[in-house]
Amino acid sequence: MESLQSPRGFHDIFGEKNERIKKISLALRTKLIERNFQEIILPIVEYAELFQRGVGQLTDIVQKEMFTFSDSKQRLLALRPEGTASAVRAYLQHKLYTKPWVKLFYEGPMFRHERPQLGRYRQFHQLGAEVFGISEPYIDAQLIEILWLLAKELNLEFRLEINSVGCKVCRPDYKLALIEYLHSVKDSLCQDCLKRMDKNPLRVLDCKVQTCQEATKEAPFAINYLCSDCKTHQDGLESALDSLGIDYVINPRLVRGLDYYTRSVFEFVSLKSSLTLMAGGRYDYLVEELGGPKTPAVGFAVGLERLAEELSFEVKEDELILVIAFGDVLDYALKVYKHLCAPNRRVDLIFKPPKKGLEIANKVGARFVALVGQEEKSGSFFTLKDLQTGFQERIELYSLKETKTE
């Protein structure tokens, strides 16, 4: 049979990478729980319309990256490309807006039909957080601080970029100014930018094509067109970040690839790979646009694979104790195995003659072996051997609970 491979852009995550992801996830979850966030497990499949309306018809995600399929009633479903729209849907569906504020986090796979490359997959994992019901900039700063603390704890080399993309009051004027400018340099823009410059002109600022970047050097930027409320918000965010001791740069080109953002947007960019590792922003209209009451909201998502690929720490596994059972000792070996299983230990069991068993123990990197044969069974003990030091001792079964292996 021809060997089967996972589909392009879909990966198995195991071993070292899995350990790193678990470590990152635990560190971030701990911070969120300590700050009164609650986990929500969101479905992986939603009606495609949620993302069309939520993320935006003109975004790359909706136009070309969604995995969609129809159910038996011909309703279009989508594998979720991100978590924010789903969190808003859940917030509305369960009438969570009756609470003064809501802080949620979620973790799981997201799906985007992008061209796969290092750090860009078709299935990837995010840990995201969303806050509903708080409009003041201190909460934007607190979310950024959580990511800042995580980045420091993980020893990431990064740059924090922030920007403001304005609101319904100031953005229309800004957009007109930008479109006018883009028309004046349109001969230098790439085909994609020519297509989006009238409908979604902000995305042109984000284009990675060199000629587009050059052509938009002198473009008007949203942060210079803010209305007084947006300006007050931005000033509030900057002073909150200053007082928290967080270094940031203002990147006036930062617009993000999703349409729901208003006011603050931010990205933690890797100095090693230049990839965006963690990102988010405010989306004060989305709840209303999806049919709910006017509700300010802000959040972020962390790309777990991208973070894991940045890290260089060694993941120390718990030491393995391999129980090697030989002869007619099945029940007794299971008893020894059960007694050895304990927190922060890995225990495994094989049925092999001692010589073969020891060879296997070396192959799988066991630190200790527990030999269990007929003699051990009759005497109610087992022989524990430290493979690093060669030290060997006889351990009576009744004293197992007190047994220390380190």
Instruction: Return the H-helix or E-strand segment holding 77.
Output: strand 76-79
- State the nearest-atom distance from the C-beta of 114 to ligand HAM, in Å: 5
C-alpha distances in Å from residue 381, one per residue of 334, 376, 384:
13, 5, 10
- State the nearest-atom distance from the C-beta of 144 to ligand HAM, in Å: 12
Complex with ligand HAM: residue 286 or 336, whichever CB lies closer: 286
Complex with ligand HAM: residue 101 or 351, whichever CB lies closer: 101
Complex with ligand HAM: residue 31 or 306, whichever CB lies closer: 306
- State the nearest-atom distance from the C-beta of 344 to ligand HAM, in Å: 31
- State the nearest-atom distance from the C-beta of 281 to ligand HAM, in Å: 6
Tell me which residue of 61, 37, 43, 55 sits closest to 129, measured CA to CA: 37
Pairing mode, if any, of strands 76-79 and 102-111? unpaired
Mention every residue, 6+ apart, whose C-beta is less than 8 A from residue 280: 128, 143, 265, 266, 298, 299, 300, 301
Complex with ligand HAM: residue 120 or 231, whichever CB lies closer: 120
Complex with ligand HAM: residue 304 or 347, whichever CB lies closer: 304
Q: How far apart are CA 91 and CA 78, in angstroms?
A: 19
- State the nearest-atom distance from the C-beta of 41 to ligand HAM, in Å: 16
- State the nearest-atom distance from the C-beta of 303 to ligand HAM, in Å: 2
**Residue 323 corresponds to which tokens in the numbers above?**
């129980």
Helix (H, G, I), strand (E, B) or coil at 158: strand
Complex with ligand HAM: residue 13 or 246, whichever CB lies closer: 13
Which residues would be at the binding site for ligand HAM (CB under 6 A)? 82-84, 112, 114, 119-121, 124, 126, 128, 130, 257-258, 276-281, 299-301, 303, 305-306
In this structure, which long-range contacts are made by residues 109-113, counting pairs with CB atoms below 8 Å and at least 24 apart in sequence?
Answer: 109/44, 110/80, 110/81, 110/82, 110/83, 111/66, 111/67, 111/79, 111/80, 111/81, 112/61, 112/65, 112/66, 112/81, 113/9, 113/64, 113/65, 113/66, 113/67
Complex with ligand HAM: residue 21 or 372, whichever CB lies closer: 21
CB 397 within 8 A of CB 380: yes
Tell me which residue of 143, 145, 140 sits closest to 244, measured CA to CA: 145
- State the nearest-atom distance from the C-beta of 269 to ligand HAM, in Å: 9
Q: Which residue is nearest to ligand HAM (CB)?
A: 303
Q: What values do phi and psi take at 273, rounded to 5?
A: -105, -10
The one-letter code for the residue type at 372 is: V
Complex with ligand HAM: residue 298 or 372, whichever CB lies closer: 298
CB 158 within 8 A of CB 151: yes
- State the nearest-atom distance from the C-beta of 299 to ligand HAM, in Å: 3
Tell me which residue of 296, 201, 194 sits closest to 253, measured CA to CA: 201
Complex with ligand HAM: residue 259 or 305, whichever CB lies closer: 305
Instruction: Return the H-helix or E-strand segment holding 303.
Output: strand 297-303
- State the nearest-atom distance from the C-beta of 135 to ligand HAM, in Å: 15
Helix, strand, coil percent content, the chain, rounded in steps of 5: 40, 25, 35
